Structure 1
Amino acid sequence: MSGLGEASNGAASSSSASVPARVSSIAQPPTTVEDNDDGGSSSDASDDETAPTTTGDGQTAKQRKKKKSKAAAKLRKKLGLSNPTSDPTEKLLASGNAVSGKISDDVVTQVQQAVAAEHGSSAANAVTKANLAKVMAMMNMERSAMLSSQETKAKASKQIADHKFWKTQPVMKPTDAPVDEEGSIQPSVPPSEVRQEPYPLPADFEWVTVDVDNPSELKEVYDLLSANYVEDDDATFRFDYSPQFLHWVLKHPGYHRTWHIGVRVVSTSKLVAFISGIPHELRVREKSYQSTEINFLCVHKKLRSKRLAPVLIKEVTRQCHLTGVFHAIYTVGSVLPTPVSCARYYHRTINARKLAEIGFSAIPHNMSMEAHVRRFELPARPNLPGLREMERGDVPSVGKLMRRYMRRFDMAPRFTDHEVEHILLSGRGEDTPTGRKGQVTWTYVVETEGRITDMFAFYSLPSSILDNDKHKSLNAAYLFYYATDVVFSDSPEPQESGASTSSPSSERALALASGKEPWQVNHLTNLLPSELADESRVPSWDTESPTIKSLLKQRLNLLINTLLIIARDEGFDVVNCVTVMDNPLFLQEQKFGPGDGFLRFYLFNWRCKPVAGGMGGRPGEGELDPVQSYVKGLAKKASGEEERAMVEQLVRKVGRNPADVGSGNGIVMV
């Protein structure tokens, strides 16, 4: 998001984990709001409480048909057969022949000159009108396939205008006028004006507060998610959040136990639904506020027709309001009213053989498995002087570096040192004689002459493989936060805070101590004066000079290459990320491939212009980018020089196309 700073890619906060979308066929991103939030049943759920009728082998007719279809497809693949009407090579050749006549000699010459400047004269000589036609045809095919996939997903859920639930909520609507002033849609109110009673549930269901410090209750959440949470479209992969992962995410500093909400069946005490929130200070451009990061909205598959999802959302909203928080952020793979940003999933193959065997990625045509594996080989060991694991004593330095780095983006979480310690170190697991047990996060720093110059982190989020006799788990690493000081080589260091007390308090803490209520101080920061000073005099990502961008690109490629080596040595099969932060600067060089999954960001009770999410570099992405849609809407209404100048000014404020600035976007994952 052309201004997003991340936590889950390094792009969103710790609980907004990135999705395990496949390189060749999508996996729906981890949703915080389900597609059937208005009561419609999902494609993999029955329409009533009871399980579908099964046959003698324990499978439904639908499951048997699906399995036969998969088996037939695998057999066709092994035999080298394909459907002539859908053969991509035939389509490509046909399209290429049609397009070649439309390419002028001037265009060929321009492309040859550009290729020569970047790759040399020998590569430029290979550029011909026929080759360009094939490339254009291939791009058209990619665009059509991607948009068709997204259109199918959109039709599977209700049209945006028909969302009975969301059109009653304080969220931006597609029909809203252009945003003049960013801020709250509805005002905060005292707890006495908030609904005091829980929302009603269907008969035989009851609300419960889940205690994540209780191992048995945490295990219940794990069991619910592992069997019913996000999976890909053909039910091959499903997120497998470990109890350690859930504890790490849900125990964020300042968390409220009442924001961990479950639904049980009264007669059996079985946990059948869950939703959670964690406290989250969010900055959108120049304004910041206290919010809730909503995650893990999950309803048991057999109960998808009970309309529990919207009731869960309303109940967690009520609980947040009772504690004085009236804003939220959430991420969803599908389109709801109304995305503030959209990013695309990318995947870096580590264990190429395994990924091909489970269908996560495909071996290119006319390439052997051995050659395919060699494409993704990494150096034997890192070549980064000063690299070591982060220690607790590094927290102040790492916190300062992260706050400065994230301030560059248009939308990012704000973390105190206490939060930095939690998100980066509390998931390290337990040291045992045989290694670490239950490790969730891996965090490294680069120390040069006693100073922390760089940091990067990733976390583990495996997926269960549901239909494979050889492999049962996909070991996926997700890029988390990173930061480097090369972007500040021409910026002055922030001055130390002049706090007059030995134990300074934040603006918000002082206001609360003076008798203010939480609902009255949502606009105040939790950062201490010294932490707030770290954000001073930091240039925006889209104003950085070409020299700085070049240095940043070079450094990030070294850091991420090192991360990939570590992930390989730790036994991961793939490293995933989305196009937030500065990720587009290293995706191609580090051999990340685009997936067909998209992650959309939503803000509850906050109106703002959209934020760029690193999209636009591949065919069809522009049609899915909220920034480009917003700008096109403004352009249609503009007439005359003065109006067009106003549109251009708004475009600059919203976020530029990544191609214009050489960087990815404005979002740090949250």
Structure 2
Amino acid sequence: MDETTKLKQVAKLLKSGYTPDQIYCELNPPTDKLSAMKKKYSFWNTQPVTKINEEVIEEGEINKLTNVPSKSIGLPDTFEWKIFNNKNDQDTKFIYDFLSKNYYEYGEEDFRLNYTYSFLKWVFNNPRGIYLVGIMKNDKLYGFISGVKTEMIINQEIVNTIDVNFLCVDYKMRNKKMSTSLIKEITRLANCDNISVGIYTSARYLPKPFTSVNYFHRPINFKKLVETGFCTIDKDADLNSASKYYDLDNTNDDNFVLMEKKHIEDAYECFKEYMQKYNFCPNYDIKTFEYLFLNDQVVSYVMLENDKVIDFISYYKLNCKSKNKIISVGYLYYYSSLKTTIYKLFENLLRVAKKNEIDVITLNTFMENQSIIDLSQCVEGTGSLHYYAYNYRIKDLQHNQIAKITL
């Protein structure tokens, strides 16, 4: 936002009765509860979400579905709604071009995620189904939001939801409340399909997260991470010596092998059993499991015992960039740790990632990841990721009660 736009925004907020603290929060989105309590949240306070100071007593759906509008909500001027076809490669390319120029969601402020066309095509073709919603004007895309149909287990209750992601507005239109229109429209579309609950994450603190997790990184190519500014060392430290701290031995576990189609059934059973320990996790069927873990975007390995799968672990691949510097990042994805410690699984995965020329593995503090963080030379990142439910109240959950990964 340039200075002229910012001054106009300040004047408008003052006229509307905002205090200086509230104006600051409007221009600098809150990242924690303390700063969020100063913000008015004119949109979110009208929505069926847990309020900032609300203590959840009874969990469950907030509003039952009644009188769902059959028509899209109105848009100003000559803007119009566009429902994209996930099977149409041109539509995917159109969305990819828009996101590559306008999507900035990432925990590290100085680095931007580089979502590739092939990655988006994989996400958009989830067999459960997806909503791809845009706002257009004169054949140009100005706003976009997606939502994958996802069956979740929330404190032992099976809940049909949409997993909302890629909310993005053209950077020149970000004070036009276009994001609220996108949220309302994807909500309406889901409601038309009898889905009333949404799941989403954000680096911003909104009303109100039921848990928040932190980013950690396990360096692999430490020298490159320092040279690109992703990691730092003391000015008096020797880079070669520091890099040795993150060296990996070349010990290969012969029972740790790349997941193949023949492993899917056993790996799926491991996944289902392992998810039972969590309070918030997806309830995938075997078709969705195979689609998510056996593809070109996710690297999945299984641990064998007498040729039978006893556990698995995976990561998905994305690059991040800053000032034309590219870092290859592996994001720790789902795993099971029934008979194999997560530390052993992760150490084997690190060796695979190194061979695949991954520079760093990024993970959050959910599932059993704290054990990895404590034992595997991980370094803390910047920022947090907050988890939200739309039209569903959930009591606060601890990190190790969560097993839901947003791509």
How has the CA–CA distance of structure 1 residues 415 and 388 changed in structure 2, closer, same or farther, with 3 Å as cutoff?
same
Amino acid of the structure 2 residue aligned with 1:668: A
Partner of 1:226: 100
Say if 1:45 and 1:304, in contact at 8 Å, map to a contact too.
no
Q: How is 1:637-656 mapped onto 2 (pairs within 5 angstroms)?
A: none
Partner of 2:119: 245
Number of matched residues?
A: 383
What is the Cα deviation at residue 334 of structure 1? 1.2
1:23-67 CA distance string (max 9 Å, x none): xxxxxxxxxxxxxxxxxxxx479849xxxxxxxxxxxxxxxxxxx
Pair 1:395 & 2:273 matched? no
Partner of 2:332: 479
Pair 1:408 & 2:277 matched? yes
What is the Cα deviation at residue 215 of structure 1? 2.1
Partner of 2:369: 583
Pair 1:265 & 2:105 matched? no
Partners of 1:228 and 1:240 lie apart in 2 by: 11
Partners of 2:112 and 2:274 lie apart in 1 by: 33
Partner of 1:418: 287
Amino acid of the structure 1 residue aligned with 2:268: G
Q: Which residue, 131, 140, 147 being the options, matches 1:277?
A: 147
Partners of 1:577 and 1:301 lie apart in 2 by: 29
Say if 2:211 and 2:386, in contact at 8 Å, map to a contact too.
yes
Query: Normalized per residue, which structure has more strand?
Result: 2
Pair 1:201 & 2:82 matched? no
Amino acid of the structure 2 residue aligned with 1:476: V
Partners of 2:235 and 2:355 lie apart in 1 by: 29
Name which one, 1 or 2, has greater alpha-carbon Rg: 1
Amino acid of the structure 1 residue aligned with 2:332: L
Partners of 1:337 and 1:280 lie apart in 2 by: 22
Paired residue secondary structure (1:587): helix
Paired residue secondary structure (2:174): helix
Partner of 2:11: none
What is the Cα deviation at residue 389 of structure 1? 1.1
Partner of 1:462: 319
Partners of 1:231 and 1:666 lie apart in 2 by: 24
- Identity across the alignment (%): 29
Partners of 1:155 and 1:583 lie apart in 2 by: 22
**CA RMSD, aligned part only?**
2.2
Amino acid of the structure 2 residue aligned with 1:250: F
How has the CA–CA distance of structure 1 residues 327 and 161 changed in structure 2, closer, same or farther, with 3 Å as cutoff?
same
Paired residue secondary structure (1:447): strand
Paired residue secondary structure (1:223): helix
How has the CA–CA distance of structure 1 residues 155 and 406 changed in structure 2, closer, same or farther, with 3 Å as cutoff?
closer
How has the CA–CA distance of structure 1 residues 601 and 231 changed in structure 2, closer, same or farther, with 3 Å as cutoff?
closer
Partner of 1:311: 181
Pair 1:354 & 2:354 matched? no
Partners of 1:596 and 1:390 lie apart in 2 by: 33
How has the CA–CA distance of structure 1 residues 234 and 564 changed in structure 2, closer, same or farther, with 3 Å as cutoff?
closer
Partner of 2:385: 599
Q: How is 1:75-474 mapped onto 2 (pairs within 5 angstroms)?
A: 153-154=29-30, 159=37, 161-176=39-54, 178-189=55-66, 193-230=67-104, 236-256=110-130, 259-266=131-138, 269-382=139-252, 384-425=253-294, 427-428=295-296, 440-465=297-322, 467-468=323-324, 471=325, 473-474=326-327
Partner of 1:84: none
Partners of 1:158 and 1:203 lie apart in 2 by: 33
Q: How is 1:595-634 mapped onto 2 (pairs within 5 angstroms)?
A: 595-613=381-399
What is the Cα deviation at residue 214 of structure 1? 2.0
1:119-151 CA distance string (max 9 Å, x none): xxxxxxxxxxxxxxxxxxxxxxxxxxxxxxxxx
Say if 1:281 and 1:415, in contact at 8 Å, map to a contact too.
yes
What is the Cα deviation at residue 380 of structure 1? 2.3
| Structure 2 portions without partners, runs of 5+ | 7-27
User: RCO higher in 1 or 2 (8 Å CA, sep ≥ 6)?
Assistant: 1
TM-score (norm 2): 0.89
Partners of 1:278 and 1:298 lie apart in 2 by: 16
Paired residue secondary structure (1:586): helix
How has the CA–CA distance of structure 1 residues 160 and 417 changed in structure 2, closer, same or farther, with 3 Å as cutoff?
farther
Query: Normalized per residue, which structure has more helix?
Result: 1
Partners of 2:146 and 2:242 lie apart in 1 by: 41
How has the CA–CA distance of structure 1 residues 327 and 160 changed in structure 2, closer, same or farther, with 3 Å as cutoff?
farther
Say if 2:219 and 2:225, in contact at 8 Å, map to a contact too.
yes
Partners of 1:575 and 1:302 lie apart in 2 by: 34
1:470-496 CA distance string (max 9 Å, x none): x3x22111000111222xxxxxxxxxx
